[in-house]
């Protein structure tokens, strides 16, 4: 009997650290892995450096879709992915997270289910912001609806899926694959001594990331946030790796004077960013992944959004939401509260332990995926 063929799809920056540990665990387990990179993110800073840092092999299929409106980007991924799926007919297609590539590939695979026999698994299923204005929320809900196997990053995600009528037999608890990557990369990230590169001491600086369209595509909201950051920069160094969307908009809106008061850099590689965040006094961000990473690192996080699809980082982690609607004063106050005497370290949420990818392999095995037995490792317990 031939071994199972598993396709892994990655498209944009937040996908790469989720896909890497799963790829390594599947290969260790003897699966034939097909890696597809849609090319949604294509710059070296947004993509290539992550492949290097995470030991990802060159993709078997690179779809080169590039940027575009949501419709254009999603459609291009679908058009380019369909022939690849038809030619390879994997047993499973694994998609991760909530970016346009995630939904596009899940949709193609769902429509071809009868032809290819491929089943779909969603890594990081069940997260909900309940804000339909977020493109990622649309991607999350629809990808979950299309998937045969929903792999939960945290326990609270199950309630969301059951409430939407998804049956328990399609759900498996995996834990957080991104934390697998974080824990395995942390020693190398620390060895870079990133604070020294910026000439700051540990705890003497804050790290900022901003890219959500709701924050950076509107001139007054971007101005509010930058004003807050400029005020914070009078007390501590603000290190700001600038996402291409944000850089473009700040220029167009005439906000470059505010940006110049911060220590800006190009987007950083995975390890560099991790090394910087690990030593920070706090992080201010609108990213999803950083809310989770700061929780595990015990670094206070101020999230610049109205709500979060990762509420476990509020209840069990170091995250807080800045008061909404965002104002410069509200952000500064929230930051000051966050850095006031550090809350004692809490244990990380269940399953954020470095073994999520092993539980994904176990969940696939439990669904008749034919993998070579791993003699040297005990079978990880599958928690459903
Ligand atoms: C995408 C994801 C978002 C994720 C974010 C992380 C969706 C709906 N959004 O948003 O969930 O948090 O990535 O970065 O999938 N650009 C470059 N180089 C690149 C990629 C993009 O310059 O390698 C530019 C594009 O030209 C565009 C802008 O960055 O102007 C935004 O890129 P896009 O992929 O459309 O969305 P993100 O905002 O990155």
Count: domains in the chain: 2
pLDDT of residue 11: 97
Q: Which of 244, 290, 293 best tests ligand 1's pocket when mutated (most atoms within 8 Å of CB)? A: 244
Mean pLDDT of 242-260: 97
Q: What is the mean pLDDT of residues 127-151?
A: 98
80-131 confidence digits (pLDDT tens): 999 999 999 999 999 999 999 999 999 999 999 999 999 999 999 999 999 9
Domain containing 301 equals 188-339
The model carries a pTM of 0.95
Residues 33 and 160 in one domain: yes
Of the candidates 15, 54, 18, 22, the residue with the CA atom closest to the CA atom of residue 37? 15
Please check the confidence at residue 371 and state whether its pLDDT lies above 90. Answer: no
The answer to whether position 89 is within a domain reads yes
Number of other residues whose CB lies within 10 A of the CB of residue 74: 23
Percent of the chain with pLDDT over 90: 92
CA 297 – CA 280 distance, rounded (Å): 10
Q: Are residue 209 and residue 273 in the same domain, yes or no?
A: yes
What integer is the mean pLDDT of 188-206? 97
Cα(320)–Cα(326) distance, rounded to whole angstroms? 13
Confidence tier at 346 by pLDDT (50, 70, 90): confident
The count of C-alpha atoms lying within 13 angstroms of the C-alpha of 3, restricted to the half-sphere facing its C-beta, is 15
Nearest CA to ligand 1 atom 13: 12
Query: Which stretch of DSSP H or E encloses residue 240?
Result: strand 237-241
Residue 276 Cα to ligand 1 middle (Å): 22
Could you tell me if 288 and 310 are in contact, meaning their C-beta atoms sit under 8 angstroms apart?
A: yes
Instruction: List the CATH number of the domain containing 330.
Output: 3.40.50.2000
Contact, 127 vs 157, CB < 8 A?
Answer: yes
Q: Is residue 295 part of a domain?
A: yes
Contact 383, 359 (CB under 8 A): yes
Residue 211 bears catalytic tag: yes
- Residues 20, 123 within the same domain: yes
Q: What is the pLDDT of residue 340?
A: 84
Domain shared by 202 and 103, yes or no: no
| pLDDT classification of 3: cutoffs 50, 70, 90 | confident
Residue 380 domain flag: no
For the CA atoms of 335, 340, 344, 348, the dihedral, rounded to the nearest 10 degrees, stands at 0
Alpha-carbon gap, residue 349 to 352, rounded angstroms: 6
CB 161 within 8 A of CB 183: no
Q: For residue range 153-169, what is the model confidence (pLDDT) as tens digits?
A: 999 999 999 999 999 99
């Amino acid at each position: 009997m031939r071994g199972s063929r598993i396709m892994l799809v990655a498209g944009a920056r937040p996908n790469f650290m989720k896909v890497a540990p799963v790829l390594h665990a599947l290969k260790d387990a003897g699966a034939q892995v097909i890696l597809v990179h849609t090319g949604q993110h294509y710059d070296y800073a947004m993509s290539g450096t992550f492949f290097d840092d995470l030991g990802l092999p060159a993709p078997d299929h690179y779809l080169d879709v590039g940027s575009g409106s949501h419709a254009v980007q999603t459609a291009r991924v679908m058009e380019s992915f369909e022939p690849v799926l038809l030619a390879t007919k994997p047993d499973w297609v694994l998609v991760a997270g909530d970016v346009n590539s995630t939904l596009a590939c899940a949709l193609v695979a769902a429509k071809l289910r009868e032809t290819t026999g491929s089943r779909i698994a969603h890594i990081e299923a069940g997260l909900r912001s309940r804000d339909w204005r977020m493109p990622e929320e649309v991607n999350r809900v629809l990808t979950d609806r299309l998937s045969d196997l929903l792999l939960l990053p945290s326990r609270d995600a199950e309630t969301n899926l059951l409430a939407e009528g998804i049956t328990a037999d399609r759900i498996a608890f995996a834990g957080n694959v991104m934390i697998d990557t974080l824990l395995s990369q942390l020693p190398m990230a620390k060895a870079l001594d990133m604070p020294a590169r910026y000439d700051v001491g540990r705890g003497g600086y804050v790290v900022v990331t901003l890219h959500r369209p709701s924050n950076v595509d509107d001139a007054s909201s971007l101005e509010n946030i930058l004003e807050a950051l400029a005020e914070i920069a009078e007390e501590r160094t603000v290190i700001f790796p600038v996402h291409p969307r944000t850089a473009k908009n700040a220029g167009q809106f005439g906000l470059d004077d505010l940006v110049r008061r911060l220590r800006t850099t190009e987007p950083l590689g995975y390890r560099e960013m991790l090394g910087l965040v690990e030593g920070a006094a706090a992080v201010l961000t609108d990213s999803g992944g950083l809310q989770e990473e700061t929780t595990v690192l015990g670094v206070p996080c101020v999230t610049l959004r109205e709500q979060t699809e990762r509420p476990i980082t509020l209840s069990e982690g170091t995250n807080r939401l800045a008061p909404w609607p965002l104002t410069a004063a509200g952000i500064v106050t929230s930051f000051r509260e966050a850095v006031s005497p550090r809350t004692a370290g809490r244990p990380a949420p269940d399953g954020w332990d470095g073994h999520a990818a092993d539980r994904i392999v176990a969940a696939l095995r439990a669904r008749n995926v034919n993998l070579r037995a791993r003699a040297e490792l005990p079978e990880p317990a599958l928690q459903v």
